[in-house]
Structure 1
Amino acid sequence: MTKYSEKFKLMLVREYQEGKLGYKLLAEKYGMKDSTPIKRWVKIHEKFGAEGLIKKNHKETYSTNFKLDVLRYMERTGSSEMATALHFGITNHSAIGPWKKAYLEGGAEALEKPKGRPPMSNKAKNKKSKKTLEKKELTNEQKLERENELLRLEVAYLKKLRAFQMDPEGYLQKHKQRYPSNSKNPSN
């Protein structure tokens, strides 16, 4: 899915509102595969203004009761996810789909579960920071061994590159991996 900047979205919405081009023609003009995003942006702009088109840095969290209200409204009215989102002031209509799926699979309890990993406890954070400090403190000998290994790898890479540059075909023939062919040879 292509991501579009807020400026681009606002520009297309304003161009649509001028009335010179419709959704499909705007999509064609700007090389978009589909006009659906433009329709969505126009609806969001009409409901929330330019602020609705701006991406939020944080994900909004909704209560279980709110999610249930949204799903019940959708079921009762037969509204689409987009129309329901606009009705409830949700700028990201795609959040409703996962709520619906979770509700159908696990009921109201499934909507209560927070998404993602639980926050780390202070003990776990302290252990993690101690481990990273221990890893960072390498001895001089370990640093030199690591540097040696990297230099060996670099030399090996440069040798192979030089061999390839001198004779690309011969190099490829020599290093070609042998796999049995799945294609059938035509018989005469």
Structure 2
Amino acid sequence: MAKYSDEFKLMIVKEYLGGPLGYSLLSRKYGIPDGSIIKKWVNAYKAFGKEGLSKKRSKKVYTVQFKLNVLNFMKQTGASYQETAIEFQMNEPSLIAKWNITFIKEGIEGLKEKTKGRPSMSGKRKPKQSKQEKVISREEQLEHENELLRLENAYLKKLKAFQDNPNAYLEKHKQRWHLNSKKKDLN
């Protein structure tokens, strides 16, 4: 949809109100795709004056309660989107239509304000589930305990071998290290 200046809208509205031409003839005369656009401008001008024709520069945020009140009014009175917008001093009937569709699909949750864009990279990370909270079976606990005991036993054996003869222990491990490094070089 093309953007029209406020002066252009005002000129067309005044021509409609003061002259014999209807919505469709004015739309053809000025190259506007549809007469309903002019009808919207005329209704906005009648309800809000010159301010009704200007596009709002900042986004107004409506509360969930306000949205529900608007939809409830429209349902109870049978008013159109345009009439409801005028009643609640809004300039965008299409916004009410959007709320109505969202309410039908998602209920009240859909009317709540949603955050836009990517989430911030704040230092607040989701806490990882601690090991205590993780539920493990008795069998898994016993297997874990066995593994810890095996590791402790192997460590104590190596420590005893090192204390008994440190030079022999170091020579043995140097040879292993050299063999492992040669294997890596061959790959």
Q: Give TM-score scaled by structure 2 length.
A: 0.60
Q: 1:3 to 1:123 in 2, by over 3 A?
A: farther
Answer yes or no: is 1:94 the counterpart of 2:94.
Answer: yes
Question: Segments of 4+ in structure 1 off by > 6 A?
Answer: none
Q: Alignment partner of 1:110: what SS? A: helix
Q: 1:12 to 1:115 in 2, by over 3 A?
A: farther
State the alpha-carbon separation in 2 of the partners of residues 47 and 115 from structure 1: 32
State the alpha-carbon separation in 2 of the partners of residues 81 and 63 from structure 1: 18
Q: 1:53 to 1:85 in 2, by over 3 A?
A: same
- Structure 1 vs Structure 2: percent identity of aligned residues? 43
Amino acid aligned to 1:53: L
TM-aligned CA deviation for residue 14 of structure 1:
1.0
Q: Alignment partner of 1:49: what SS? A: helix
Q: Give TM-score scaled by structure 1 length.
A: 0.60
Q: 1:14 to 1:110 in 2, by over 3 A?
A: same
1:1-188 equivalences under 5 Å are: 1-114=1-114, 116-117=116-117, 120=120
State the alpha-carbon separation in 1 of the partners of residues 59 and 119 from structure 2: 16
Amino acid aligned to 2:12: L
Name structure 1 gaps, 5 residues minimum.
Answer: 125-188
State the alpha-carbon separation in 2 of the partners of residues 98 and 118 from structure 1: 23
Count how many residue pairs are aligned between Structure 1 and Structure 2: 124
1:38-91 deviations in whole A, cap 9, x for unaligned?
Answer: 111011001101111111111111111110011111111222211111111110
State the alpha-carbon separation in 1 of the partners of residues 43 and 119 from structure 2: 36
Which protein has the larger Cα radius of gyration, Structure 1 or Structure 2?
2
